[in-house]
């Protein structure tokens, strides 16, 4: 199985996430994308964010129509922040070819991720443009650069209390029903 891991806060999942995951499937010949919402500290103050169970549920709603999409609660059920290298190691046991999807904002910060040497060993990165950030290969890392771009931002969506055209209607309804980001 050729699998891409897609880690993030997904607070909430939006059409940009779905667009880049779909592009990965269409253009890289992969079999599936595993969306992995991260655990977030309940002590983070002053930040408008949704609990893990809500972020997980919204991911399930947004990916319901895509047979290649899976949603994993692996990081959430550990109940403490996970490093990406730990997540990659966990799933590397199951999948022979392992990829990792990220936006340009994360790619340029990759050296600050813990244990980059393990990441470089286990993962082939699939990188998407964002906010005009210049993209360049990094020595030692395997990467494919795709040109699908999407303007959605979870921060902007939270500021709009979830009233955004960049959300699946099922997700928008979920946000309203549970008064998230109000």
- Cβ 104 to ligand ATP shortest distance, Å: 7
Helix, coil or strand: residue 48: coil
Ranges within 117-136 binding ligand ATP (CB under 6 A): 128, 130
Tokens representing 48 are 């408008």
Among 3, 4, 5, 16, binds ligand ATP (CB under 6 A): 16
> Distance between CA 122 and CA 97 in Å, rounded?
9
- Our finding on whether 10 is near ligand ATP (CB under 6 A) is yes
**Selection from 132, 82, 140, 135 nearest residue 111 by Cα:** 140
- Cβ 178 to ligand ATP shortest distance, Å: 18
- Our finding on whether 153 is near ligand ATP (CB under 6 A) is yes
Of 76-84, 90-98, 117-125, 147-155, the window that binds ligand ATP (rule: CB under 6 A) is 147-155
Beta bridge partners of 34: 5, 70
Residue count of the chain, please give it: 182
- Cβ 9 to ligand ATP shortest distance, Å: 4
- Are 21 and 101 spatial neighbours (Cβ–Cβ below 8 Å)? yes
How many H-runs (helices) and E-runs (strands) does the chain carry? 8, 6
- Our finding on whether 52 is near ligand ATP (CB under 6 A) is no
Binding site for ligand ATP (CB under 6 A): 8-10, 16-17, 20, 102-103, 105-106, 128, 130, 150, 152-155
């Amino acid at each position: 199985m050729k699998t891409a891991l897609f880690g993030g806060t997904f607070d909430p999942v939006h059409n940009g996430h779905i667009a880049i995951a779909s592009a990965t499937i269409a253009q890289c010949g992969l079999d599936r994308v595993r969306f992995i919402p991260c655990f977030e500290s309940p002590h983070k103050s002053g930040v408008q964010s949704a609990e893990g169970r809500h972020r997980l549920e919204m991911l399930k709603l947004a990916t319901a129509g895509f047979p290649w999409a899976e949603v994993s609660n692996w990081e959430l059920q550990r109940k403490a922040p996970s490093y990406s290298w730990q997540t990659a190691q966990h799933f590397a046991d199951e999948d022979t070819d392992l990829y990792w999807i990220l936006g340009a904002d994360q790619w340029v910060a990759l050296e600050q991720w813990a244990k980059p040497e393990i990441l470089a060993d286990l993962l082939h990165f699939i990188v998407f443009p964002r906010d005009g950030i210049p993209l360049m290969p990094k020595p030692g890392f395997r990467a494919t650069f795709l040109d699908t771009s999407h303007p959605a931002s979870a921060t902007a969506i939270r500021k709009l209390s979830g009233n955004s055209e960049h959300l699946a209607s099922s997700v928008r309804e979920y946000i309203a029903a549970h008064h998230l980001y109000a």
